[in-house]
Structure 1
Amino acid sequence: MFSLLKYAKKYRVQIILGPIFKFLEAVFELLLPIFMAKLIDEGINNKDSSTTIKMALAMFVMTLIGLVCVLICQYFSSIASQGFGTELRNEMMRKINSFSHVEINEYGTSTLITRITNDINQLQLALAMLIRLVVRAPFLSIGSIVMAFIINPKIAWIFVITLPLFSILLFFIMKKTVPLYKKVQEKLDSLNLVVNENLSGVRVIRAFAKKDEEAKKVASVTDDLAISYKTVANISALLNPITTLIMNGAIIFLLYIGGNQVNIGGMKQGEVLALINYMTQMLLALIVVANLVVIFTRAFASANRVNEIFNTEPSVTDLVDQSASWKKENEVLKFSNVGFKYTEKSGYTLKDINFSLKQGETLGIIGPTGSGKSALIQLIPRFYNINKGSLKINNKNIIDYTLEVLRDHIAVVPQNSVLFTGTIRSNLLWGKENATDDECWKALEIAQCADFVKSLPEGLDYKVLAGGKNFSGGQKQRIAIARALIKNPNILILDDSLSALDYKTDLNLRNALNNSMKETTLIIVSQRISSVRSADKILVLNDGKQDGFNNHENLLQISKTYNAIAKSQIEKEEL
């Protein structure tokens, strides 16, 4: 946990001054019972109004100064903890953005969201409590015992006896609750995963009439989490009543022994009340210590989860000696005996892939479901590293380019088109930040969605809801394609991005691409023969292996896989 405090460096002043002001407040709180004892014994009992007023004013001034100290400490702790959380969250987001698809797949979206929200919130709370209470609580506990010995050493032994009793209680409660808090964090991850799946897949759930089953699944996970929370809460709830019992029992002893001492003249009434105040202060401070231990235990668990992210090295990174600049060559892309697997433990998804592509050519990639089409195109922008063979772009090894240079010249439109909250314009500007309205409309026209956007009330400034949920699948795909086109990439990859379009729109879009982007190398991944048949070259994949690389006419003769796909689709079209 302490290794993460480097993200609080900007707030060192607040982290140092906050506990100092809290310590001052604790000193005044520790002195108040002494002044109260004098007010009673020397003022009220002696009917000395002057002493009574002096003591009352002194207590009022100390309380007022203590209040100011508390407010200053609270202010400093808020600035430091919130600033620390912001810095940590921003740094964690930068780290996650550096991950390749390998690391993102390993962690999963739900746990990353939990770590960047809930876990960092726990760390923020821990820092706030560190500033506010870590100095105050132990000081009051020890200080109360010291002050008790100053007032009456014999009765002070009640404090010494009470302290270990309470400590034993704390030990057993914490022994039970600390491991349970860790399990609660894990179950919270599971709940986030289920909720995320249900929200993102709500249309599929409704389409298959699975609302009841999924509701039961969510209820089961929620109940499991609730049971864990209840177990922890029930055990923790024992702390207050047992503490009250111990405290009241100690106070009864104090009153009994102190009363006898007052009767025989060994003590004064004010001193007995002061001791009762110190007993209350000590036990309440120990309760705070117990809560601090729970908070810091949860924070340590969260810190381990956050550090796990920071300690994970991305598998796809820039090499130290990368210096290749993007220079167009006749041969833009070349796969040589390329093999790829998602993880070291899994089998090869792609095996011995060999083909090349020239500048300005169109490549179609087709094959049965699960044949490795999407895996192959994700190697081109280096979302993953290849495990075998070589991959060259413009006659240079792909790893000779920095990721920034490589991805600046490559645009990918994935299978599931994603639009971001904002406007159509703001989504298009992802492709080119300073794009003009003319460039936006040109890209929309090529993507066959200019008429649709013009029909909207605000045109380019029409609002886009989260995930583009206020657009149909085909509309989202076309806007996503326009976003890629406005970038004017050297290589444009459409990963089954035409699947939601009708045949006419599909054809018009491909014709527009060929006419408007003659120098762009186009790669189209599709299940439709009609989308790839006019490509210069077609790569056929089957079970991760290359089953053919040629044009449409020749593949009908030499590739059984391609021939079977073509026959099945041609028959359907004729029907």
Structure 2
Amino acid sequence: MIKLLRFLRPYRRQVGLVLLLVFLQSIAELYLPTLMADIVDRGVVQGDTPYIWRIGGLMLLVAACGALCSVGASLWSAKSASGFARDLRSRLFGHVERFSLSEFDRLGTASLITRTTNDITQLNQVLTIMMRVMVMAPMMCIGGIVMAVSKDAALAMVIISVVPVLAGFIFLVFRKGGPLFKAVQTKLDKLSLVLREHLTGIRVIRSFNRIGHEQERFDRANRDLTNTAIQVNRIMAFMMPVMMLVLNFAGIAIIWFGGIRIDAGHMQIGDLIAFIQYAWQIMFSLVFASMMFIMIPRASASAARINEVLSMMPDIRDADGGKRSAGSTRPSVEFRNVSFRYPGAEMQALSNISFATHAGEVTAIIGGTGSGKSTLVHLIPRFYDVEEGQVLVGGIDVRELTQESLRAQIGLVPQKALLFTGTIADNIRFGKEQATDEEVRRAAEIAQASEFIRGMKDGYDSPISQGGANVSGGQKQRLSIARALVRKPGIYVFDDSFSALDFKTDAKLREALRAETADACVILVAQRVSTVIDADRIIVLDEGRIVGMGTHRELLQTSDVYREIVASQLSEEEIA
């Protein structure tokens, strides 16, 4: 947690003001019992009414000053802690954005969401309280003991004997509760994961009648989290009665022995009243400290999880000092003896892949499920780094280019079309923020999306709900294609981007793309033979290896795998 306190540096003046205000508040509260003792001993006992009014007025003034200090401390502690949380959240989000896909795979999306929201909220809450308690608790405890000793050193032994008992009990609670708070955060991750999978996969769950199974899965994760939370609450529920019992017994002992000392003439009534107030201040300062010690383990667990993310360096980084951009005005993509395996995998996903494609060429990639088609195209924008070999864009190894300049040259249409909340125009402009209305419309026309857009109530201003739930799969794919087209990149990568289109729309789209991408380098992943049949080069993948390369007619003669794919999709007349 200490590592994260560096984010408080911009607020050090506010933190200093909070500590000063809390210090003044503590002084005021420690001074009030002494004034009360004076009122009783010199005002009430001696019947001096003017003295009571004078000291009573002073007590009101001191109490008002203490209240103002308390309000100010609460205000500035909340402001500085909220600013800390905002800055930390922004830093964490910015750091996560630089992660490669392997870091996302390692940590998990649900866990990253929990760390960015719930964990930082835990730190915010603890920091808000800690800035006040870290000064007030020791100040009230030590100051209260000093003031109590000044009133009656012998009676102060009651308090001094109770303090170690309470401190030891707090330490035991801290030791027992720490691991449980960490477990709560981990199990909250699990619950978030189950909930997220359920909500995003609700169509599949309902179509396979797996609602009961998912309910049981959620209940299991929920029950696991609840049981751990109950253990934590049991400790807290046990702590408060024990501490209050000790405090009450201490109060009884003080009154008992204080009465004896008053009767013996060693102490005045006002001093005993002040002594009792100091005793309660000391005890409650320990209660506040115990609350902090209860919250700190959970905050520490959250801080450790946040530090884990911040200390994790992305596997894919720009080369030191590397600010290279494309070295060629004509776009090209080349794979040289590329091999790749996913982190932790035993088998290679791609083995010894070599091919090149240049501007004006369409290179299609086809193969069975799991053959490595999507993996191959993900290496071009450097979502992953190759294990062996090189991927070159414009004649330059992608590892020598900055990620920004590399991806600026690429228009990627992913296999799973993803839209964002906003309007249709906003989603198309995601590819080029400064695109004009005319550019947006032209991109939509080429992507065969303009017809259904015009049919919507607000046209290009029609809203898109979260994940594009209010449009069909084919419409999402066409909007994703328009998003890539509007940026007019030198390299187009279509990762099975026509699978949700009917054959007529597919043919019209490919015809429109041919003219639009005439000067670009096009890499096309597809399952349909009809989609790749006119490509300048077709690469056939099987189990991560190239088993055929050439035109449609050449592969019919040379590649058994390609012939099997063609035979499974086309009739003999169509093949001929």
TM-score (norm 1): 0.97
Tell me, yes or no, if structure 1 residue 101 matches structure 2 residue 101. Answer: yes
2: CA distance, partners of 1:167 / 1:304: 26
Q: Answer yes or no: is the 8 Å Cα contact 2:529–2:565 preserved in 1.
A: yes
Q: Answer yes or no: is the 8 Å Cα contact 2:331–2:491 preserved in 1.
A: no
2: CA distance, partners of 1:321 / 1:93: 24
Give the secondary structure class of the aligned counterpart of 2:539.
Answer: strand
| One-letter code aligned to 1:446 | I
Quote the residue 2:119 is aligned against: 119
Structure 2 unaligned segments of length 5 or more: list them: none
Give the secondary structure class of the aligned counterpart of 1:319.
Answer: coil
| One-letter code aligned to 1:140 | M
Which whole-Å deviations, capped at 9, do the CAs of 1:276-326 have from their partners, x for residues lacking one? 111211111111111112222222222221111111111111112434332
Alpha-carbon distance change, 304 to 467 in structure 1, aligned in 2, over 3 angstroms: same
Tell me, yes or no, if structure 1 residue 320 matches structure 2 residue 320. Answer: yes
Which whole-Å deviations, capped at 9, do the CAs of 1:338-386 have from their partners, x for residues lacking one? 1011115532110011111121211111111111011000000111111
Tell me, yes or no, if structure 1 residue 457 matches structure 2 residue 457. Answer: yes
2: CA distance, partners of 1:35 / 1:294: 34
Q: Answer yes or no: is the 8 Å Cα contact 2:262–2:269 preserved in 1.
A: yes
Quote the residue 1:356 is aligned against: 356
Deviation at 1:266, TM superposition (A): 2.1
2: CA distance, partners of 1:174 / 1:297: 7
Q: Kindly report which structure 2 residues correspond to 1:344-383, keeping only aligned pairs within 5 A, or say none.
A: 346-383=346-383
Which whole-Å deviations, capped at 9, do the CAs of 1:67-87 have from their partners, x for residues lacking one? 111111111111111111111
Deviation at 1:573, TM superposition (A): 11
Alpha-carbon distance change, 331 to 235 in structure 1, aligned in 2, over 3 angstroms: closer
Quote the residue 1:566 is aligned against: 566
Alpha-carbon distance change, 166 to 365 in structure 1, aligned in 2, over 3 angstroms: same
Quote the residue 2:537 is aligned against: 537
Tell me, yes or no, if structure 1 residue 468 matches structure 2 residue 463. Answer: no
Q: Kindly report which structure 2 residues correspond to 1:327-342, keeping only aligned pairs within 5 A, or say none.
A: 327-328=327-328, 332-342=332-342
2: CA distance, partners of 1:393 / 1:405: 11
| One-letter code aligned to 1:405 | S
Quote the residue 2:485 is aligned against: 485
Q: Answer yes or no: is the 8 Å Cα contact 2:327–2:395 preserved in 1.
A: no
2: CA distance, partners of 1:9 / 1:165: 37
Which whole-Å deviations, capped at 9, do the CAs of 1:15-47 have from their partners, x for residues lacking one? 111111011101111111111111122112222
Tell me, yes or no, if structure 1 residue 140 matches structure 2 residue 145. Answer: no
| One-letter code aligned to 1:462 | S
Deviation at 1:335, TM superposition (A): 1.1
Give the secondary structure class of the aligned counterpart of 1:238.
Answer: helix
Quote the residue 1:511 is aligned against: 511
| One-letter code aligned to 1:267 | M
1: CA distance, partners of 2:505 / 2:336: 35
Which whole-Å deviations, capped at 9, do the CAs of 1:145-183 have from their partners, x for residues lacking one? 111100001100000111111122212222221111111
Quote the residue 2:68 is aligned against: 68
Identity, in percent, stands at 38
Quote the residue 1:447 is aligned against: 447
Quote the residue 2:557 is aligned against: 557
Tell me, yes or no, if structure 1 residue 178 matches structure 2 residue 178. Answer: yes
Question: For this pair of structures, how many residues does the alignment match?
Answer: 574
Quote the residue 1:44 is aligned against: 44
| One-letter code aligned to 1:128 | T
Q: Answer yes or no: is the 8 Å Cα contact 1:329–1:359 preserved in 2.
A: no
Give the secondary structure class of the aligned counterpart of 1:360.
Answer: coil
Runs of 4+ in structure 1 off by over 3 angstroms are 327-331, 571-574
Alpha-carbon distance change, 337 to 233 in structure 1, aligned in 2, over 3 angstroms: same
Quote the residue 2:390 is aligned against: 390
| One-letter code aligned to 2:86 | T
Which whole-Å deviations, capped at 9, do the CAs of 1:428-474 have from their partners, x for residues lacking one? 12111111111111000011110111111111111111111111111
Higher alpha-carbon deviation: 8-17 or 388-397: 388-397
Which whole-Å deviations, capped at 9, do the CAs of 1:57-76 have from their partners, x for residues lacking one? 11111111011111111111
Deviation at 1:218, TM superposition (A): 0.5
2: CA distance, partners of 1:25 / 1:304: 33
Which whole-Å deviations, capped at 9, do the CAs of 1:507-554 have from their partners, x for residues lacking one? 111111002221122211111111111111111111111111111111
| One-letter code aligned to 1:336 | R
Which whole-Å deviations, capped at 9, do the CAs of 1:476-527 have from their partners, x for residues lacking one? 1111111111010111111111111111111111111002221122211111
Quote the residue 2:19 is aligned against: 19
Quote the residue 2:248 is aligned against: 248
Deviation at 1:329, TM superposition (A): 5.7
Deviation at 1:413, TM superposition (A): 1.1
| One-letter code aligned to 2:12 | R
Q: Answer yes or no: is the 8 Å Cα contact 1:331–1:356 preserved in 2.
A: no
Alpha-carbon distance change, 65 to 393 in structure 1, aligned in 2, over 3 angstroms: same
2: CA distance, partners of 1:79 / 1:339: 52
Quote the residue 2:168 is aligned against: 168
Deviation at 1:419, TM superposition (A): 0.9
Q: Answer yes or no: is the 8 Å Cα contact 2:326–2:396 preserved in 1.
A: no
| One-letter code aligned to 2:395 | N
TM-score (norm 2): 0.97
